[in-house]
Amino acid sequence: MENDRLSERKKLILQAIVDAHISHGEPVGSKALLENKHLSCSSATIRNEMAELEEMGYLEQPHTSAGRVPSELGYRFYVDSLLERYRATTDEIDRLNMSLQSRLTELDNILNEASRLASSLTNYAAIAVRPRGTGITVSRFETVYLSARDFVLIMILGSDTVCNRTIRLATDITEDELRRLTSIFNLIIANRTADEINLSMIYEIERLMGRAAPIVSPLVKVVYDAMKGTGEGDISVEGVNRLLDYPEFSDAKQFRDILSVIEEKTPLLNMIPSTPDDDVHVYIGSETSLDVMNNSTVIVRQIRQGDNVLGTIGIIGPRRMDYSRVIATLDFLANGISGMLSGGPAPILLKGPDNES
């Protein structure tokens, strides 16, 4: 792999350029790198190494400047291989823990509160994502017989939402058969998520329905679609105006385009991992698959209670965001909320060796 060909000196120079660009937002020249205590080489050597990093695709040179900025590939290598663990100060750790605990005592909406806190702690825009279709179940089925070929299917969802569907059949059904169908659905399908409904359940319902078996499969599809449709997912955003603090979002059209993506919701929802995991997911520039976010980064982390995904919190910012701080903050909030929901204390996850007494 090309990444393996980077010498230790190239890695140090790339890391120094990314760190400097994150801090100041300006192209970084060799003269500025000479002040870095980790680089003990001449200005000429640094310039040569920077030129080679640019040829390899890790750096870019804006046409208006002699300095370089990290490319998308450079940021990706930085996140995957060079990122140092963020170490909060003792004051920051105390403030994070107090904020987490005080917010959790007044939660009306865990995800929204977590995203507000994430935005204030990182000074970027934060998103809260309610999961699509995850954990939605029908707690009870009821039916209303209308005629031999029509009835109303009533589904009371676990969230106390009621869904009604008028069913029109291709074959006749009696009132007794409809009552039996309702009882069987309550016995076999109720309190199961859409993903838990399988073919063996459908075959068993068809066996129990006998003559009326042909109506089972289409009806299960109606139930499946209702559960998935109710949980399509939603995104709310906090602190979007914070993006205006960064030159990357100073262009009014680009800022409006990013707002449109957030408001449309579906493109961002499609990026969010749906299967449970404890990983922090980092999408840099074109990795978002959204052209308007080529100069942006999206970082997301799930909040879980046991095996249940309550939702996802994330950060939207420029490509030169403070990755270490953002990743540590999302990890802290997700693990802290999950732990406290399970009855434990908020863990101190950000303390590193430099802060230990």
> By the 8 A CB rule, do 276 and 307 touch?
yes
What pLDDT was estimated at residue 346?
47
CATH topology of domain 2-82: Arc Repressor Mutant, subunit A (1.10.10)
* CA gap 260, 252 in Å, rounded: 12
Bridge partners (DSSP) of residue 308 are: 305
- Burial class of residue 78 in the structure, from the number of CB atoms within 10 Å of its CB (0-12 exposed, 13-18 middle, 19+ buried): buried
> By the 8 A CB rule, do 246 and 317 touch?
yes
Residue of 64, 34, 38 whose CA lies nearest to 50 = 34
CATH superfamily, domain 90-131+233-355, is: GAF domain (3.30.450.40)
* CA gap 331, 23 in Å, rounded: 22
Q: What is the pLDDT along the chain (357 residues), one digit of tens a residue?
A: 455 678 999 999 999 999 999 988 889 988 888 887 778 888 889 889 999 999 999 999 887 667 899 999 999 999 998 887 776 666 666 666 666 665 554 433 577 778 888 998 899 999 988 765 556 788 899 999 999 999 999 998 765 667 888 899 988 999 999 999 999 999 999 988 877 888 899 999 999 999 999 999 999 988 887 776 655 567 888 999 999 999 888 888 888 888 888 888 888 888 887 777 888 999 999 998 888 899 999 999 988 766 667 788 999 999 999 999 999 999 888 887 777 666 555 444 444 334 443
SS3 content of the chain, % helix, strand, coil (to 5): 50, 20, 30
* CA gap 62, 50 in Å, rounded: 14
* CA gap 150, 143 in Å, rounded: 11
Number of residues in the chain: 357
The SS3 call for residue 215 is: helix
Residue 213 CA neighbour count, 13 Å, CB half: 10
Would you kindly state where each structural domain of the chain is located, as residue ranges?
2-82, 90-131+233-355, 138-230
> By the 8 A CB rule, do 351 and 93 touch?
yes
Query: What CA–CA distances, in Å, run from 245 to 125, 182, 242, 248, 271?
Result: 11, 58, 6, 9, 25
Write down the pTM of the prediction. Answer: 0.67
What pLDDT was estimated at residue 219?
92
User: Which residues, other chains included, contact 262 with Cβ-Cβ below 8 Å and sequence gap of 6+?
Assistant: 127, 235, 237, 240, 268, 316
What pLDDT was estimated at residue 226?
76
What pLDDT was estimated at residue 352?
36
> By the 8 A CB rule, do 101 and 80 touch?
no
What pLDDT was estimated at residue 85?
74
Residue of 226, 295, 219 whose CA lies nearest to 254 = 295
What pLDDT was estimated at residue 105?
46
Residue 159 CA neighbour count, 13 Å, CB half: 10
User: Which residues, other chains included, contact 245 with Cβ-Cβ below 8 Å and sequence gap of 6+?
Assistant: 123
- Burial class of residue 352 in the structure, from the number of CB atoms within 10 Å of its CB (0-12 exposed, 13-18 middle, 19+ buried): middle
CATH topology of domain 138-230: Enolase-like; domain 1 (3.30.390)
How is residue 85 written in tokens? 């663990």
Query: What CA–CA distances, in Å, run from 274 to 104, 287, 303?
Result: 25, 17, 12
